[in-house]
Each structure stands twice: as C-alpha cells, then as structure tokens.
Amino acid sequence: MMSAIITGFLLCFSLNCVIGAQNTYLFRQGVRNEYVYSLACFCTVSDFVLIVAGVYGMSLIVNQFYIDLFLVLSAFCLLLYGIYRIKNVMSLSYGASEEVYLQRSFKKSIIAMSAFTLLNPHVYLDTVILIGSASLQYNSDEKIFYILGAT
C-alpha cells in the first residue's frame, strides 16, 4: 500500500518538474492574478480523471488510428497557438500593449486551460500511457492507492 502511494507520488512529481504548456499558462495566470485557484483545481481534476483512465486501461480501449489522428491534430493546435504568441510578442512596442493588461473572462480562461490540458499530446503520453503502464505491477486494491499518490 505505502509502496504504491510513494511510487505514484514520485512518478507524478518527476513528470510535473517539466514546465509544459499547461504549467506555463497557469504560471502566466498566476502572475496576472487571474482565476489561479479555479484553474489549478481544474488542472487537478483533469489530471485525476486522466490518471484514472490510464490506470484502468484507457490505452487498451482506444484504437491506434484515433490516437495518431488526435496527436497530429493536437500538435497542429499547439503549433498555431505558438505562432500566435510569437506574432503577439513581435508586434509589441517596448514590451507592452493594452492586450497584455486586459483581463480575460473566466470562461475564456477555462477554455484556454481546457485546450492546454486536453489538446496537449504530452498530457496523454504522461498520464494515460506512462502512469497507466507503471500501474500494471499493482493489483486492483493497490491501484487505488497508486492513484491517490499520483494525484
């Protein structure tokens, strides 16, 4: 039991040390002091759902074709967002514009966080495939503790 909790915690801790699109957006919102706690709760619940899906075999259910198609579309969306952000930074004069200081609505912030969370191929590789496959060593009772540690 304790081994499953510690393993889940350490694996997820090591994966969260990498600053990805989701964490970068959350840090950006934190600096701007916009809906930080709500967005962090959204990320936690989303990660929990994806971890549970990975541990209980989501990767075995999904057809490989749909995974490939989803990964390509997700990468394309992230590429478009990256181009948008680079274009936005290049258009700034002296590092500031009104757009930088306009506060986003809560709805737009949640939609953006949803996109960073659910359209990011890295999220599925980490939560569903890596964390899910690491749980194969545990029986069904221990998997619950593994999920608690991972969350």
Give the start-to-end residue ranges of the domains of the chain: 2-150
pTM of the model: 0.71
Tens of pLDDT along 70-112?
778 777 877 887 888 788 777 765 455 555 556 778 998 999 9
Reported for 59-65, long-range contacts at CB under 8 A and 24+ positions apart, including other chains, are 59/128, 59/129, 59/132, 59/133
pLDDT band at 60 (very low <50, low <70, confident <90, very high): low
Structure tokens at 20: 């990805």
Average pLDDT of span 11-26: 86
Element at 90 (helix H, strand E): helix 64-90
Structure tokens at 8: 């889940």
Element at 133 (helix H, strand E): helix 132-134
